[in-house]
Amino acid sequence: MHRCPLWVKYLLLVAVGVVPFFAKNVPLSLAAFAVAAVLVVAGSGMGISQLNPGVGLLVMNAVIVAYDWIFRTWQEGVVFACGMIATLWLARIITSTTPSGLIMDGIAACARPFRIIGANPEKFALAVSVMWSSIPYLLVSVRNVRDAARARGLRFSWRFVAPVLVTAVGHALQVGEALQARGLGD
């Protein structure tokens, strides 16, 4: 997967991750789930332990399956859960086997048709890049606030959202100033 061109990885993402959502077929969704798992482990060199989508995602998918089972059909829940996890795994392949510069070039290329309505593909790719690089920063901010609360003997709760928001706004201002200093801010 490291040597595959970006368009092949995007094609895999669409074919294996997105198409089963529209087909709404349980065997196809289960097959896409299995193919995505094999591609992550064999194709990208990640271990099986890295397939863990996280407790939050597993709980969310379990709630969706339960909801669909109660109010719709269990098949719809299975199709959604398999498709969601397969899509996330395939996106992980793209982000872990492709340099971020190539991903941004690919995003800019996909945004080029929107020039006719006034969009700037390079700025769009830059915005995605800034957002992408900000996510780990925000996760560290949440972890730091949680650790500070624990050190003071407090349980982490919703009242600790304010320090995280202040940190996020501060980071956004710093990024905005850096972009403007480089002539990229409007």
pLDDT score for 49: 65
pLDDT digits (tens, 9 = 90+) for 129-162: 788 778 788 888 888 888 888 888 877 677 778 8
Handedness of CA 125, 87, 41, 28 (dihedral sign): negative
Is residue 56 pLDDT above 80, yes or no? Answer: no
pLDDT score for 10: 84
Ramachandran area for residue 43 (φ above 0: left; ψ -120 to 50: alpha; else beta): alpha
Token code pair at residue 60: 């969310």
Residue 21 one-letter amino acid = F
CA distance 185 to 130: 12
CA distance 44 to 55: 23
Which pLDDT band holds residue 186 (cuts at 50, 70, 90)?
low
Question: Within 10 Å of residue 35's Cβ, how many Cβ atoms?
Answer: 18
pLDDT digits (tens, 9 = 90+) for 84-124: 888 888 888 887 788 878 888 888 888 888 888 987 888 87
Q: What is the pTM of this model?
A: 0.65
3-state SS, 85-105, equals HHHHHHHHHHHHHCCHHHHHH
Q: What is the mean pLDDT of the chain?
A: 81
Which pLDDT band holds residue 51 (cuts at 50, 70, 90)?
low
pLDDT digits (tens, 9 = 90+) for 34-45: 888 888 777 766
Contact 5, 106 (CB under 8 A): no
